[in-house]
Structure 1
Amino acid sequence: MTATDAIFDPRTTLARADLAEQGLEGIVRADVHRAAQAMRCATPMADIVDASGQTVDQLVFGEAFDALETLQDRAWGQARRDGVVGWVDRAALSDGVVLPRSRVTALDADLPPNALVADDAFSPVGEFETDPLAFAERWLGVPHRLGGRTPKGTDCCGLVQQALYACGRAGPRYADEQAELGRAVSRADARRGDLVVWLHPGQGPWNGHSAFLLDGDRVLHATGHHGAVAVEPLAEALARYAADGFEAPVFRRL
Structure 2
Amino acid sequence: MLDDLSDITDPRLIPARPDLADIRLRGRVSAERYVPGEARRVVVPSAPLRRAPRFDAGLDTEAVMGDAVTLYEAEEGFAWVRLGPDGYVGYLPEAALGPADPAPTHRVTALRTFLYPGPDLKLPAAGYLTLGARIAVTAQAGQYLRLATGEHVFADHCADLSATEPDFAGTAERLIGTPYLWGGRTSLGLDCSGLVQLSLAAAGIAAPRDADQQERGLGEALPPRLDDLRRGDLVFWRGHVGLMLDATRLIHANGFHMAVAVEPLGLAVARILEKSYGPVTSIRRLTA
Provide TM-score, normalisation by structure 1: 0.90
**RMSD (Å) for aligned C-alpha atoms:** 1.7
* SS of residue paired to 1:58: strand
Counterpart-to-counterpart distance in 2, 1:33 and 1:85 = 16
Which residues of structure 2 form unaligned runs of 5+? 114-127, 140-144, 146-157
1:62–1:98 Cα contact (<8 Å) kept: no
1:198 equivalent in structure 2: 237
What is the distance in 2 between the residues matched to 1:100 and 1:163? 19
Q: Which residue of 1 aligns with 2:132?
A: 114
Unaligned runs of 5+ in 1: 200-207
Partners of 1:104 and 1:223 in 2: CA distance: 25
Structure-2 separation of matches of 1:16 and 1:159: 30
Matches within 5 A, 1:42-61: 42-51=43-52, 53-61=57-65
1:71 is aligned to 75
Tell me the TM-score normalised to structure 2 length: 0.80
Tell me how far apart the structure 2 counterparts of residues 217 and 135 of structure 1 sit (CA, whole Å).
18
Q: How does 1:202-213 map to 2 (within 5 A)?
A: 208-213=239-244
State the structure with more CA Rg: 2
Aligned counterparts of 1:55 and 1:7: Cα–Cα separation in 2: 22
> Helix, strand or coil: the match of 1:215?
coil
Amino acid at match of 1:133: A
Give the equivalent residue in structure 1 for 2:160.
124
Could you tell me whether the CA contact under 8 Å between 1:213 and 1:219 is conserved in 2? yes
Summarize deviations over 1:152-196 as a string: whole Å, max 9, x none.
Answer: 101010010011110001111011111131101123332121011
* Cα deviation, residue 247, structure 1: 4.2
Q: Is contact 2:229–2:248 with CA below 8 Å preserved after alignment? A: no
> What is the CA–CA distance in structure 2 between the aligned matches of 1:56 and 1:26, rounded to whole Å?
28
Q: Secondary structure at the match of 1:161?
A: helix
Over the matched positions of the two proteins, sequence identity in percent amounts to 42
Task: Evaluate the alpha carbon distance shift between residue 228 and residue 66 of structure 1 in structure 2; reply closer, same or farther with a 3 A threshold.
Answer: same
String of CA shifts for 1:214-244, please: whole Å, max 9, x gaps: 2222210111110100012212221232222
Query: What SS does structure 2 have at the residue aligned with 1:179?
Result: helix
Residues 76/234 of structure 1: CA separation in 2 closer, same or farther (3 Å cut): same
Matched to 1:49, the amino acid is R
* Contact 1:8/1:28 (8 A) holds in 2: no
Shift of 1:60: 0.6
Aligned counterpart for 1:91 among listed residues 91, 95, 102: 95
Tell me the residue number matched to 2:108. 104
**Is the counterpart of residue 225 in structure 1 residue 256 in structure 2?**
yes
Superposed displacement of residue 7, structure 1: 2.8
Greater Cα shift, 22-31 or 40-49:
22-31
Contact persistence 2:176–2:260 (CA under 8 A): yes
Give the counterpart of 1:135 among 157, 160, 171. 171
| C-alpha deviation, 1:249, in angstroms | 3.0
Q: How big is the shift at 1:124?
A: 0.6
Tell me how far apart the structure 2 counterparts of residues 246 and 7 of structure 1 sit (CA, whole Å): 29
Q: CA deviation at 1:245?
A: 4.5
Counterparts of 1:135-214 in structure 2 under 5 Å? 135-180=171-216, 181-186=218-223, 187=225, 188-199=227-238, 208-214=239-245
Letter in 2 for 1:142: T
Report how far residue 70 of structure 1 moved: 1.1
